[in-house]
Every structure is written in C-alpha cells, then in structure tokens.
Amino acid sequence: MDSFHPPSRKDYLDRQQKQGRGLFGVFPGRYPREIFWTLNVLPVEVWDPPLDTSGSGAHLQPTICSVVKSGLELIRQGRCGMLDGFLFPHTCDSLQNLGSLVRDDLRVGKPCLDFYPSKIPDGPVARAFFRKEIERLSSALEPLYGPLDSSALSHWAARARELAEALETLYSLRAEGRLDTTNVEFYRLVRSVEFMHPDDLIPVLSGFLKDRVLSEPLTSPAIVLSGVLPTPWGLLSLLDDLGVRIGDDDLLSCGRRIPGVCGSEKDPVAAVMESYFGMPPCSTTHAPLGERALQLLERVHRSRARGVLFSIVKFCEPELFAYPALRDSLKRQGIGTLFLEHDVNREVPGQVATRLEAFVEMIEDRGSEEMRNRLKGPGGVS
C-alpha cells in the first residue's frame, strides 16, 4: 500500500489563494478556526518550519524554545509574503512576546493580532470572556474580509464538528490497534489540519479510514506520546524501526485539540465555545494537574499502552512545569515513562536513540511479564 503524503504546503496555499481565499498565519495554540473559515480565510498554522534559527539570536534570549525561534525565522527571512497577517494566541509568554516583537520591532506591514484564550477553568466567566475575544477577533479581521455572517458561522461550526468526529474516529481506531499505518504516516495525515481547508481535508481523512481499517488488532507494543509536537520526525521513524506504535497522544498540536464535546447549539458562537471548552485539559490553559494526569491515564488505558514517552521541546515552560507531577502520577499506577528534551527539526542524537531503545526493551519485558502472569492465573497455564 502506498504511503500517505500530504500535498505540498506551498503548492496547496498557492491554489487556495488563486481560488480567492485569504491566508492568515496562526502561531501555535488553540484558537477558533471557524471564524476564519466563515470569512473565507484559511488559517495557516506556523509550528516548526524547517529553518536554521541562528539568526533569531539577535532578537531572542537563548532560553526561548525552538518553536518560537523557527516561527520568527519564517517571518524574518521574508517567507510569509502570501499571508495577509498573523494571529498570536496567548499560548505562553514567549509566543505573546513574539507577537509584540513582530508587530513593534520587525514592522512587517501586516496586521498582527492577538487572541487570549481563557486561563481559568470552564464556567460562566470563562465563556463570557471567550465570547468577547471572538467578537474582538472578528472586529479586527473585518477591515480585511468584511463582517462575520452569523448564518455562515453556523455552517462552519457544523463543519468543524465533522472534522473533529473524523479525527476522533481516526484516533479511536489507532488506539484499538485497528489502523494500518506507521507513526510517521499517521502524523503526516493528522498535521495536515495545520494548513488544509476542511472541505479538502475531511474527504482525505474519510478515504484514509476507508482504506486502512484492520479487522484484527495489531499486537505490536503501544506507547502514549506527550508534549507539544510529534517531532523530530526521526524519533517517529526510530519508533517505527523498533516496532513500537504510538497508540494515543497527549500533544498540544494534535490530540489535545480534538474536542471530546462538539458544540451543537443554535447560537453559532455558543457552538464554537462548546467545542473549544470541550478540548482536553492542557498545560497552556492552566488546567489542574489532576485533570491532566487523569486524561493521560485514560489515554494509556484506552490504547493499552505499556508506557508514556514525554517528548518535550527544550525550554517549553508549560510542559516542563507539568511533567514532574504527571510522571509521578503515572509511576504510582505502575506505568513506565521516558523523558526526552529536544529542539524541533533536529536529528535524533545517538544517546537519545540508545535511551529510547532501552525504554522499548523495558516495556517489552514488562509486557512479557504481564502475559506470563495471566497465563499463571485461573484457567491459565502454570
């Protein structure tokens, strides 16, 4: 079976622009995609463009993460000519400060907008704040694309539910071991959401699901991947080579943005809010660590994972602050963990590969021991 490859991002965006669709750069985090789709604008997410980030040292401290550095390089090197502007969600302090730097110091000559997600748990205050943020974002985009049409927003809120349902089906089948795909291929597919329009992406997801469902589950050992991004790609390739599949993930760019509850209210803004607040707990929204730990444990159980790999971008404060508590919570449940810290778009060092191989051996041994214990149990072979 042919391996899945998404369309070239540049070629795809060129076609979108020729079709009359606006293009708006969006930096990492959670934001209401439906607002952009309603305005006939494609949000183009900027997570980890493969660029040399050495030039960012003139603008950023050495302790800033490589996600921010690579995003800055994309703008600094003049590679954003086709974009109409930029949105900087307040995912972390570094990204908020990047928005100020691009707007005030680089003076790119394009709108540089902010979006502030609520940093308190769901509730009336959080929802009132979020509604005002949607109104503020819509007003900021209006001079470029016109006013937001409420009936059109209802359509795109429903389309967002279709996309979320397709992604959740994909994740559920993978967790069951009933998806014929490699780790690399899976994340090529899932990360297409960063730049593909839902009218194009939903059929791609449906076609993939149609062709790749297995009647019998795979028996290869599974792990859960936690962090921001499923990178470096060499890490996924190494897991493939070791015969280990990622059964589920707790990644900000992927699994943590699939709402478990999708809005269906008649008020389209309320539907957008319901989907937004239905997303899993996240370190970037100050979710209680107990909720994060419970969510991670549920992902372990549903995928029958033998361990959790924390693959964290170096200097990512929200993830690094949460890690010790999450690790300890898993340890109390007898679940093995491995912590890897890295920059995006870097090769996997030999010592990291060695540690990963040792981790895989550990979970394989643990799986063999569990099987032996089952066989010794009632009705088993002694």
Tell me the average pLDDT of the chain. Answer: 92
* Domain-terminating residue out of 122, 152, 182: 152
- Give residue 374's pLDDT: 43
Task: For residues 268 and 323, state if they share a domain.
Answer: yes
Task: For residues 301 and 362, state if they share a domain.
Answer: yes
Domain-located, residue 2: no
Query: pLDDT under 50 in the chain at which residues?
Result: 371-372, 374-376, 378-382
Task: For residues 325 and 201, state if they share a domain.
Answer: yes
* Domain-terminating residue out of 134, 152, 170: 152
> Secondary structure of the chain: what % helix, strand, coil (to 5)?
55, 10, 35
- The range of the structural domain enclosing residue 340 comes to 159-376
- Give residue 381's pLDDT: 36
* SS3 at position 63: coil
225 forms beta bridges with 249, 309
Domain-located, residue 43: yes
- Give residue 279's pLDDT: 94
Task: For residues 136 and 172, state if they share a domain.
Answer: no
Q: The tokens of 189 are what?
A: 């597919």
Q: Tell me whether residue 155 is exposed, middle or buried, using C-beta atoms within 10 angstroms of its C-beta: 0 to 12, 13 to 18, 19 or more.
A: middle
Task: For residues 299 and 328, state if they share a domain.
Answer: yes
* Domain-terminating residue out of 124, 152, 180: 152
- Give residue 63's pLDDT: 94
Domain-located, residue 382: no
Domain-located, residue 4: no
- Give residue 368's pLDDT: 57
Task: For residues 219 and 270, state if they share a domain.
Answer: yes
Structurally, how many domains does the chain consist of? 2
Task: For residues 187 and 303, state if they share a domain.
Answer: yes
CATH code (residue 74): 3.40.50.11890
- Give residue 370's pLDDT: 58
Task: For residues 172 and 215, state if they share a domain.
Answer: yes
Domain-located, residue 3: no
Domain-located, residue 352: yes
* Contact partners, residue 83, CB within 8 Å, separation at least 6: 23, 24, 25, 44, 110
Angle (CA) 261 267 271, round 5°? 20
Task: For residues 138 and 240, state if they share a domain.
Answer: no
Distance CA 296, CA 325 (A): 12
Task: For residues 134 and 166, state if they share a domain.
Answer: no
Domain-located, residue 381: no
CATH code (residue 290): 3.40.50.11900
Task: For residues 296 and 350, state if they share a domain.
Answer: yes
Task: For residues 148 and 239, state if they share a domain.
Answer: no
Render 194-210 in DSSP notation, one character per residue. GTS-HHHHHHHHHHHHH
pTM of the model: 0.93
- Give residue 379's pLDDT: 41
- Give residue 369's pLDDT: 58
Domain-located, residue 285: yes
